[in-house]
Amino acid sequence: MDTLLDRFLRYVKIDTQSDEGSAAHPSTPGQLELARLLEKELQGLGLSNIRLSNKGYLMAELPANSDKNLPTVGFIAHLDTSPDVSGKDVKPQVFADYDGQDLILNKAENIVLNVQEYPELNDYVGQTIITSDGITLLGADDKAGIAAIMTAIANIMDKPESKHGRIVIGFTPDEEIGQGADFFDVADFGADFAYTVDGGILGELEYETFNAAIAHVDIQGINVHPGSAYMRMKNALYIAMEFNTLLPGHERPEYTRDYEGFYHLNKLQGSVESAKMTYIIRDHDMAKFEHKKAYFERCAAFLNSKHGEKTVNIKISDQYYNMKEKIEPVFYIIDLAEQAIADNGIIPQIKPIRGGTDGARLSYMGLPCPNIFTGGHNFHSRYEFISLESMEKAVGVIMRIIELNEIQDN
């Protein structure tokens, strides 16, 4: 029978890196490849109502075996990995009984997971650490979540005497590029509430996310031969830099934490004639979020008054909102998860997400959906790693949530 580690190693070897420049759904074919593999595994486990949409959404259910009228609980993880680092030809490495020393991921390329730089490694001495070979990311975000859900369901199927309500699971594409909920059919999924298994370190439980927007800035310049450019050239690259300097320097990701929001320039390309920038705008507080967007627009207006109308054109699109507003009215689902974490001998770490999950949008689509941990570190990085023991705890938490849902009879 497959172990949790077997599943995880099998899943990470499939390249599911999403592509924000693609018009396809899902954005890359590898996501469908993984979804089809999971579809077969779900069939092998004996789940019912298994359906895979042509857009890459995989859903299934385990019918209730309890005679109580219980709410349906769902568990969700995403198929794709981040575009930030390659997910092709992932070569996972398993370091059993970790000794607390630096981990050499790739001797030939001198890529080392350094304890001095990543002191959290000290928390895992004696455990089994899984990494990539340093050339790619590992893909624990979120294949650890997929493996945990699949293992928990398999364990429950092995214990038919354990009573539970109806359980539904869903695997979504393109979460990393903000499209994971685009074609998610909440009614078809059929859960009263759900959890994304997409968090980080051991014990994390999250029900607050950023309010989020993406902003595209297009700058039109005038290119003239530099020898005759006097009072004629309008350098789009300089104007791009000027725009960026108008934004508060202390409101960048590298200078913010906890509930502090930011502007993040994550793409810049161009020439003298034209330049394009992409920003993400984030804040947990809705009023501050709206203020940030309004200030962004005022910066564009100022530069247009200085350099000429239509020099700077911006388009701001909201991506998701803080799910706290939708979770608080059903806070028992947080209490349920917190108890499940504690029952597994873990201190719950309830804190805001400095990011978002599929659950943020799903909560606003009528499916309250907080986030629980997988145990991973350094997501979106070649230095990503995860402890097998933390993944096992995630499996235990999923199973305990299901047990508590039956015991507490909410």
Query: Quick one: average pLDDT of 44-65?
Result: 97
What is the predicted pLDDT for the residue at 409?
56
The pair of three-digit structure tokens given for residue 318, joined into one six-digit string: 């909201």
Q: Residue 265 sits in a domain of what CATH number?
A: 3.30.70.360
Looking at the structure, tell me whether residues 138 and 24 fall in a common domain.
yes
Tens of pLDDT, residue by residue over 75-109, are 999 999 999 999 999 999 999 999 999 999 999 99
Share of the chain above pLDDT 70, in %: 99
Query: Quick one: average pLDDT of 341-359?
Result: 93
Q: Rounded to an integer, what distance in angstroms lies between the CA atom of residue 22 and that of residue 20? A: 6
Query: Quick one: average pLDDT of 388-406?
Result: 97
Write the DSSP symbol of residue 323.
T
Query: Quick one: average pLDDT of 331-351?
Result: 97
Tens of pLDDT, residue by residue over 98-152, are 999 999 999 999 999 999 999 999 999 999 999 999 999 999 999 999 999 999 9
Looking at the structure, tell me whether residues 62 and 84 fall in a common domain.
yes
Q: Is the pLDDT of residue 8 over 60?
A: yes
Share of the chain above pLDDT 90, in %: 94
Looking at the structure, tell me whether residues 200 and 258 fall in a common domain.
no
Query: Quick one: average pLDDT of 298-323?
Result: 96
What is the predicted pLDDT for the residue at 408?
74
Q: Residue 364 sits in a domain of what CATH number?
A: 3.40.630.10
Looking at the structure, tell me whether residues 143 and 199 fall in a common domain.
yes
Looking at the structure, tell me whether residues 138 and 71 fall in a common domain.
yes
- Last-in-domain residue among 268, 293, 320: 320
The rounded mean pLDDT for the chain is: 96
What is the predicted pLDDT for the residue at 28?
97
DSSP string, 70-83: PPPEEEEEE--B-T
Q: Is 175 a catalytic residue?
A: yes
Looking at the structure, tell me whether residues 60 and 197 fall in a common domain.
yes
Tens of pLDDT, residue by residue over 282-291, are 999 999 999 9
Torsional sign, CA 290, 291, 296, 300: positive
Tens of pLDDT, residue by residue over 185-198, are 999 999 999 999 99
Number of domains in the chain: 2
Segments forming the whole domain that contains residue 80: 4-209+322-408
Looking at the structure, tell me whether residues 316 and 326 fall in a common domain.
no
Q: pTM for the complete prediction?
A: 0.90
Site of tokens 């930030």: 84
| HEC readout, 6-63 | HHHHHHHCCCCECCCCCCCCCCCHHHHHHHHHHHHHHHHHCCEEEEECCCCCEEEEEC
Looking at the structure, tell me whether residues 390 and 251 fall in a common domain.
no
Q: Rounded to an integer, what distance in angstroms lies between the CA atom of residue 1 and that of residue 33? A: 22
- Last-in-domain residue among 320, 346, 365: 320
Q: Closest by alpha carbon to 195, among 408, 343, 394?
A: 394
Q: Is 142 a catalytic residue?
A: no
Looking at the structure, tell me whether residues 41 and 85 fall in a common domain.
yes
Looking at the structure, tell me whether residues 359 and 376 fall in a common domain.
yes
Q: Closest by alpha carbon to 358, among 252, 206, 215?
A: 206
Query: Quick one: average pLDDT of 253-268?
Result: 96
Q: Is the pLDDT of residue 357 over 80?
A: yes
Query: Quick one: average pLDDT of 306-330?
Result: 96
Q: Identify the band that residue 410 occupies on the pLDDT scale cut at 50, 70 and 90.
A: very low
Cα–Cα distances in angstroms (integers) from residue 391 to residues 117, 152, 161, 197, 228, in the given order:
23, 11, 25, 11, 64
How many other C-beta atoms are found inside a 10 Å radius of the C-beta of residue 276? Answer: 14
What is the predicted pLDDT for the residue at 158?
92
Looking at the structure, tell me whether residues 204 and 295 fall in a common domain.
no
Looking at the structure, tell me whether residues 315 and 326 fall in a common domain.
no
Of the candidates 15, 61, 80, 204, the residue annotated as catalytic is 80
- Last-in-domain residue among 304, 320, 336: 320
Of the candidates 174, 175, 176, 406, the residue annotated as catalytic is 175
What is the predicted pLDDT for the residue at 20?
87
Pick the range with the lowest mean pLDDT from 102-111, 173-182, 283-292, 352-361. Answer: 352-361
Q: Is the pLDDT of residue 225 over 70?
A: yes
